[in-house]
Amino acid sequence: MINVLLFAQLKDELGKETLSIEGNGMSVAQLKGKMKIEFQLEGLETVMTAVNEEFADDETILSDGDTVAFIPPVSGG
């Protein structure tokens, strides 16, 4: 299972901040596609992704136990 973290508007949209989803062997892009269908989650195309706390490409392949965070445009400072 992949641990997924959601923040800011994504968290509000889904109504939760963490979830587990089957995704071993999937790319980040495939996981995004799956989440879009399963949760009707909009706007995943324009967010950054972090895998295990480092920014990652859409092509990055995921393994069970990975933590994937979807990171909307940041606004700290």
Binding region for another protein (CB under 8 A): 5, 7-9, 12, 28-29, 45-50, 53-58, 69, 71-77
Q: Is residue 18 within a helix (H) or strand (E), and if so which, with residue range? A: strand 18-21
Cα separation, 22 vs 34, whole angstroms: 9
Minimum distance from CB of 39 to another protein (Å)?
18
Residue closer to another protein by CB (options 1, 48) is: 48
Instruction: Name the minimum Å distance from CB 62 to another protein.
Output: 13
Which residue carries 């973290």 as its tokens? 5
CB of 20 to another protein, least distance (A): 17
Q: Count Cβ neighbours within 10 Å for each residue of 35-48 and write b for 16 or more, e otherwise.
A: beeebebeebeebe
